[in-house]
Structure 1
Amino acid sequence: MIEWRQRLPGAAVVALVATLLLAGCASGPSPDRAATRDAVPRDEPYSSRGNPDSYSVLGKRYTVLASNTGFRERGLASWYGNKFHGRLTSSGEPYDMYKMTAAHKSLRLPTYVRVTNLDNGKSVVVRVNDRGPFVDGRIIDLSYAAAHKIEMTGKGTVPVEIEVVGPDDTRTATRNSASSGNRSGRAMPNARWGENVFVQVGAFRDADNAEEIGARLRRAGLSTVSQSAGGWTRVRVGPLASADEFDAVRERLRQLGFHETTMVVKK
């Protein structure tokens, strides 16, 4: 067990070692106990203990956002379950695997986000009240209830898009949660491993610079594609066959000096 309570208490801390070995899947949860309704965004004060300016985990420093407004992100989601049920989250609340909650590394606590499973278009609104996951390439850890609702518990990890919703979005979030399929209010492409999931290395105004980067990546053994639109050339690696390949490619890109990469799902 890693001891750093004074910096960031929470279920995500205790979950860290297990998450490094296996993306979330706890044994023996009861689906009939899981919440079925989305969390309803409401105006509430930020946690006094869950929002330091920054914090450190395993030698890496994370910065908490000053504002969640307009936040949107794509990447891999994992989930955590009954092994951590009842433990304190980073905001000081007990973790309840049967409620619609989640952990995030930098969003202010608590906040509400809509999480859309890009494999199937299903989405859920959750209340973020914990920190994690502290595995590169993972952007959010969902409670068992939330993971169950978007049908990811059997896979462990899925590509997702997350988007902050607030009190002014309550009616939209509630309306969207009443239907199945695409609930994000806009077209969401389904992610198909081996077909349309890529890691974007960067977007370049200079097409020659983009070609130079692409050539460097190809010399390193990576398969690249370039897409030009609106005066920008985007260099991407892929398509990627699985979440494991996504992780491996991002790690290889970090070794090559490319640290600010993102997941892209092409329409």
Structure 2
Amino acid sequence: MIDGVRKGWRPGIAAVIAAGVLALAGCAESQLAVHVAKKANHAAQPTPQERKIHAERVRAASLRPYTINNVRYFPKDDPKYDETGLASWYGEPFHGRLTAAGEIYDMNRVSAAHKTLPLPTTVEVTNLENGRVLVVRVNDRGPFVDGRIIDLSRRAAQLLGFEHDGVARVRVRIKGSPDDAFVMRTKAITVAEEKSVTAAPRPTVKVAALAPPDAAEGASAMSLSTPAVTRAPAAPPDVLPEQAAAAETVYRVPVDADTRLFVQAGAFTDYQNALRMKAMLSPVGGVDIQHTLIDDRDFYRVRIGPLGDVTEADRALARIKSQGAGDARIIVD
């Protein structure tokens, strides 16, 4: 399903990013870049400053709006990005192809695709079904399938323990740009199941952020659905986000074994708006309004659920969107 959606869009997205980088670099500088690329085997490795400049250009280009399958996406830098939902993974059909950031996709390295976070960015992905946590570099766009918030490489899916299932309930939190000098402490935990997984080459990482729904009245939809996840005890040494992603370090946190799936049509600060949304979705049935208090503000979430499994959640999402709630999404709570 994911493969079918991805076919045909990846070269276009990669071209858009590449064109943006070239435009930002300028004509003379672009010609120099091409010359240097041709002589890569004989040239010295780029300096940290050169890598930073290149990453900044790619990042700026990755924040431009784009359209896939008649849907307009608005990437943005969201330092507070924190969202729950469903993760998928992609592999063989795209192995060796260019990512949206212009890198070669390697399904045997830890990386990810996101629809709106800047490229590259690092995120922390928690599998809410088994407590495994992995720092991942986002360097691609996707998944362009309703109800999925992140598409991981096969290697990342292996380490998070859902390669065979194909889909997992996850929490995704931003850790920063790979060039940020921000420090993250993690405690490595040996995972016995990983002994059978062959070690893979080390990749780089990136992230993207979703534009808030128009109906949310400025509220961050991510913050409305994030479950409390207790972090693992910190331990030295200090590790930069991109180093943690390359190290393929898996650690564990306590998670609620009884997570539930919902489809959230919208979140409102005005109760009357929530009532109007519920009335619009009346043909679907089973729609409720749930009140929550966030930062001393009242929010009213229009939801259907809890739902039994991913298949039921996908069907409910399709029904709700068919009634005009285009920003509806699957969340884990």
Distance 1:232 1:90, change over 3 A: closer
Alignment of 1:101-180 (within 5 A): 101-166=111-176, 167=180, 169-172=182-185, 175-178=186-189
1:237-256 mapped onto 2 (5 Å cutoff): 237-256=304-323
Residue 73 of structure 2 corresponds to which residue in structure 1?
A: 62
Q: Which one of the candidate residues 251, 262, 266 is aligned to 1:198?
A: 262
Return the alpha-carbon distance in structure 1 between the equivalents of residues 266 and 149 of structure 2.
19
Cα displacement (A) at 1:216: 5.0
Confirm whether residue 220 of structure 1 aligns to residue 233 of structure 2. Answer: no
Match of 1:8 in 2: 14
Residue aligning to 2:19: none
Name the count of aligned residue pairs. Answer: 226
Assess, with a 3 A threshold, how the Cα gap between structure 1 residues 4 and 212 changes in structure 2: closer, same or farther: closer
Residue aligning to 1:234: 301
One-letter identity of the residue aligned with 2:265? V
Show CA shifts across 1:6-58 (max 9, x none): 54359xxxxxxxxxxxxxxxxxxxxxxxxxxxxxxxx9424538615122222
Cα offset, 1:165, TM superposition: 0.5
Counterpart amino acid of residue 107 in structure 1: L
How many angstroms apart in 2 are the aligned matches of 1:122 and 1:3? 31
Query: Matches of 1:82 and 1:6 in 2, distance apart?
Result: 19
SS of alignment partner, residue 138 of structure 1: coil
* Residues 78 and 142 in structure 1, CA contact (< 8 A), matched pair in contact too: yes
The C-alpha deviation readout for 1:210-231, integer Å capped at 9, x for no partner, is: 45644553x4143234333333
TM-score by length of 1: 0.72
- 2:119–2:139 CA contact under 8 A, matched in 1: yes
Structure 1 or 2: more helix by fraction: 2
CA RMSD of aligned residues (A): 3.0
One-letter amino acid of the structure 2 residue matched with residue 91 of structure 1: A
Residue 142 (structure 1) shift: 0.4
Q: 1:192-222 CA distances to partner (integer Å, 9 max, x unpaired)?
A: 4xxx2212223344546545644553x4143
Residue 95 of structure 1, aligned match among 80, 105, 120: 105
Encode CA deviations 1:153-203: one digit per residue, 9 max, x unaligned.
11111121111103455432xx145467x77458753454xxx22122233
**Aligned residue number for residue 53 of structure 1:** 64
Q: Where does residue 84 of structure 1 map in the other structure?
A: 94
Unaligned runs of 5+ in 1: 11-42
SS at structure 2 position matched to 1:142: strand
- Say whether residues 1:189 and 2:256 are aligned partners: yes
Assess if the C-alpha contact under 8 Å between 2:14 and 2:98 holds in 1. Answer: no
- Counterpart residue type for residue 251 of structure 1: A
Match of 2:326 among 235, 259, 264: 259
> Would the aligned equivalents of 1:203 and 1:235 in 2 still touch at CA under 8 Å?
yes
Q: Is the 8 A contact 1:105 1:134 kept in 2?
A: yes
What TM-score comes out, normalization by structure 2 length? 0.59
Change (3 A) 1:104 1:59: same
Structure 1 pair 78/236, CA: closer, same or farther in 2 (3 Å)? same
User: What residue is the counterpart of 1:28 in the other structure?
Assistant: none
TM-superposed deviation, 1:61: 2.3
How far residue 140 of structure 1 moved from its aligned partner, in angstroms, is 1.0
User: Residue type matched to 1:250 in 2?
Assistant: L
Q: Secondary structure at the match of 2:170?
A: strand
For 1:150 and 1:81, locate their aligned partners in 2 and report how far apart those are by CA, in whole Å. 15
Computing the radius of gyration from Cα coordinates, the structure with the larger value is 2
State the alpha-carbon separation in 1 of the partners of residues 271 and 78 from structure 2.
Answer: 33
